[in-house]
A and B are shown apart, each in its own frame.
Chain A
Amino acid sequence: MAKITFITSDDETITLEGTSGSVMALAVDNGIKGIDGDCGGVCSCATCHVHVLPEHVSKTGTASEIETDMLELDDDADEFSRLCCQLEITEALDGVVLRVAK
């Protein structure tokens, strides 16, 4: 079980609990604004962009090559950006804070 906190572009803070699956699926299931996951989680659409709180990057790790390339679709991407379909929910993610990209 991991507690995952989303901060939306409206500055709404929502904490969810997940046990398995991707962070994107958890967000979509709970209607987190700004996370669409249109491609179903195969790193093809870049509609699940989040910024990891810098001090929490150790929990998530950094983006893979294809993920980094896809993130370039968004001018707002930075070194803390991830596509959250690529974040698998495990204990390691517990307490992570993710700011949903605009």
Chain B
Amino acid sequence: MSETKKPICVIIGASHGGVNCATALRKEGWEGDILLFDADPVLPYHRPPLSKAYLTSNDGIDKNVLKSAESYQKEDITLNLGVKVVAIHAKEQTITLEDGTQQNYDQLVLATGARPVIPPIEGLATAQNAFPLRTAAHVASIKKGINASATKRVVVIGGGYIGLETAASLKRLGAEVVVLERESRILARVTAPEMSSFFHELHHQNGVEVLTGKNVSAIENNDASNVVVCTDGSRYPADMIIVGVGILVNKELAEQAGIKIENGIVVNEKAQTSEANIYAIGDCTYHFNPHYNRFIRLESVQNAVDQSKIAAAAICGGASVYDTIPWFWSDQYDVKLQMVGLSQGYTEVVVRKEDKPNSFSVWYFNEDTLLSVDAVNNAKAYVLGTKAIKQKIKIDKWKLFDSTSILKLDTIVAD
């Protein structure tokens, strides 16, 4: 009796992309082995809440997992957690683990994600209680540090979403928080000035000091705390420092394996890299977005999940191709921000206000083409924006601006 050898799909990275790819493979009918590897020892968890609800709650990470341990067993997905992959050998179709073990594969999926940038600021490496925020371990350290500190003075370096969400959460935990942003406004890279002003004011109202045009030059280390020093000479004492200044793509494994890299791991519309049986998904990919007609890299759950399904389908011989409108969300204090589309290249914004307090939306246009919508406490605007962008519906900007009319597709569509 001969036994046919089962094919093996290895997935490197067990966050939103990797885990969803594994379950999507089963839904697509993959009958071979599925081996998931991640250097993070914790059962895969939801990442967005780390800087939001999870940071302020007393829940353990078990309340925040993507799936229970049993569900991986049920779907016959093998988790190898706390295991680092150190090399890919594309020709031999094997990977090498940290302990030297070789693992062969038939199909390989790179869901390696990204890691926080640690800027080369003097004294940062030796600072007390200085953390980025990307993993469950970071959050555990931050919570421990805050609880142990009597004065709870926090300096957040970077006024992007991670920095601002963390600032809001730590304020809720009783910290005294200062956010230092290098640009002239917060969220400068991702939103219009109207949004930056709103969030600046929101943090101010909640007692978080947001300072712009602040270039951190050094961290002075004392026994139990630090002083954050800026180029303009200003000094901020900090019992804790949060670093939120962006990410670096984890592309090294792919690069060393000779896979094509640009601003990330280059993939085609099937999430396939330059090696036929190696796919890449999520934050680490540089991929083409048909709607916006350009190559982009995205840091988002939506992209990780959508590409994971495309890769799984392709591995199983399906014909699905990637064609989605990106979406994102952020929670700060009691404000829910929902974003759809990509605003890059906008020439005009329309701010639509609603009757309720703190409820409005910013619509980004390139001439007459709607590019994206940022909706603050306004799911309706988010939904309408999604539909209008997807279906390339022409919006009448004056009708949109007129907040005396009810926000509906019929009322804002151009004649």
The residues of A with any CB-CB pair to B shorter than 8 Å are 28-31, 33, 36, 38-40, 42-45, 65-66, 69-70, 72-73
Contacts and interface: CB of A to CB of B under 8 A. Distances in A.
Contact of A39 (B70, B301, B386): B301
Nearest to A74: B383
B380 A69 contact: yes
Contacts of B338: 44
A40 B379 contact: no
| Residue from A28, A65, A72 whose CB has the most chain B CB atoms within 10 Å | A72
Contact of B23 (A31, A66, A70, A73): A31
Nearest to B47: A40
Contact of B302 (A33, A38, A43): A38
Contacts, number: 55
B23 A39 contact: no
Interface residues of B, number: 30
B205 interface: no
A31 B301 contact: no
A31 B379 contact: no
B27 A40 contact: no
B383 A69 contact: yes
Contacts of B31: none
A31 B331 contact: no
Given A70-B379, A72-B383, A73-B383, A38 B305 contact: yes
A36 B306 CA distance: 11
B20 to A, nearest CB: 8
Nearest to B305: A38
B172 to A, nearest CB: 16
A26 to B, nearest CB: 10
B67 A28 contact: yes
B327 to A, nearest CB: 8
B349 to A, nearest CB: 22
Question: Chain A at the B interface: mostly helix, strand, loop or mixed?
Answer: loop
A30 B387 CA distance: 31
Interface in B131-182: none
Contact of B46 (A31, A36, A40): A40
A63 to B, nearest CB: 11
Interface string B3-43: 00000000000001000000100110000000000000000
A73 B386 contact: yes
B71 interface: yes
A33 B27 contact: yes
A66 B378 CA distance: 8
Interface in B215-256: none
B49 interface: yes
Contacts of A39: 48, 301, 329
A30 B71 contact: yes
Contacts of B331: 42
B68 interface: yes
Contacts of B348: none
What are the 8 tightest A-B residue pairs by CB atom distance, in nearest-first order?
Answer: A69-B379, A40-B46, A44-B329, A69-B380, A29-B71, A66-B379, A72-B383, A38-B305
A39 B327 CA distance: 11
A38 B327 CA distance: 11
A69 B338 CA distance: 12
A92 to B, nearest CB: 21
B305 A36 contact: yes
A72 B68 CA distance: 30
B75 interface: yes
A31 B26 contact: yes
A31 B48 contact: no
A31 B71 CA distance: 8
Contacts of B70: 29
Contacts of B294: none
A79 B26 CA distance: 33
Given A31-B75, A39-B301, 15 more contacts: A29-B67, A29-B68, A29-B70, A31-B26, A31-B74, A39-B48, A42-B49, A42-B329, A69-B382, A69-B383, A70-B379, A70-B383, A72-B380, A73-B386, A73-B387
B313 to A, nearest CB: 14
A20 to B, nearest CB: 10
B382 to A, nearest CB: 8
B380 A38 contact: no
Nearest to A40: B46
16 contacts: A29-B68, A29-B71, A31-B23, A31-B26, A31-B71, A33-B27, A36-B305, A38-B16, A40-B301, A45-B302, A66-B336, A69-B380, A69-B383, A70-B382, A73-B386, A73-B387
Contacts of A43: 379
A38 B74 CA distance: 20
Interface string B70-106: 1100110000000000000000000000000000000
Contacts of B48: 39-40, 42
